[in-house]
């Protein structure tokens, strides 16, 4: 009879450009990417070539900050099963010079307003579900700053 061993539960990012620190949730997850040393263009995640100047292999890893502004948004009224609607999906321009798509909290999706464009937001991360193996899956989200 085979002996069963319990597998340790992991915490995995929902996207490859999210890094989960070893002491999560005491330390929040963060976004990372690369900067092209040839032209200075920044990207989320890993790259083998720069989309702006075409340079290859000339990148340095960058940890991005948590603050930015809401560039554009949409109120989502229909989603996959078990996803509560309506919610606000946005593109956030980070202060570091990259943009990320994420859900935005702290605004009323029942009363969208043009004044939301340019609102300051701050990133946070949380477990949003489990994968097939029972591991926690972490996503980043943004909350409007007062």
Residue 60 has pLDDT above 50, yes or no: yes
Contact 107, 145 (CB under 8 A): no
Distance CA(136)–CA(96), nearest Å, equals 28
pLDDT tens-place string over residues 5-34 = 557 889 999 999 999 999 999 999 999 999
* Cα angle 97, 98, 101; round to 5: 145
Buried/exposed 41-75: b ≥16 CB within 10 Å, e otherwise: bbbbeebeebeeeeeeeebeebebebebbbeebee
Average pLDDT over residues 117-138: 96
Dihedral angle computed from the Cα positions of residues 14, 16, 21 and 22, in that order, rounded to the nearest 10 degrees: 80
Contact 71, 117 (CB under 8 A): yes
From residue 19, alpha-carbon distances to 8, 33, 56, 114, 139 in Å are 19, 10, 23, 33, 10
Per-residue pLDDT at 30? 98
Contact 117, 101 (CB under 8 A): no
Higher confidence at residue 9 or residue 123? 123
pLDDT tens-place string over residues 28-54 = 999 999 999 999 999 999 999 999 999
């Amino acid at each position: 009879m085979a002996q069963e061993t319990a597998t340790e539960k992991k915490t995995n990012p929902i996207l490859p450009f999210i890094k989960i620190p070893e002491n999560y949730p005491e330390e929040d997850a963060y976004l990372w990417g690369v900067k092209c040393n040839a032209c200075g263009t920044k990207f989320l995640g890993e790259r083998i070539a720069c989309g702006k100047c075409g340079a290859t292999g000339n990148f340095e890893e960058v940890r991005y900050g948590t603050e930015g502004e809401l560039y554009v948004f949409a109120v989502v009224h229909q989603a996959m099963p078990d996803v509560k609607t309506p919610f606000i999906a946005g593109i956030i321009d980070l202060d570091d010079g990259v943009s990320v798509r994420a859900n935005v909290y702290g605004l009323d999706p029942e009363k969208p307003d043009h004044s939301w464009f340019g609102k300051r937001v701050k990133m946070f991360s949380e477990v949003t579900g489990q994968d097939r193996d029972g591991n926690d899956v972490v996503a980043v989200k943004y909350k409007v700053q007062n």
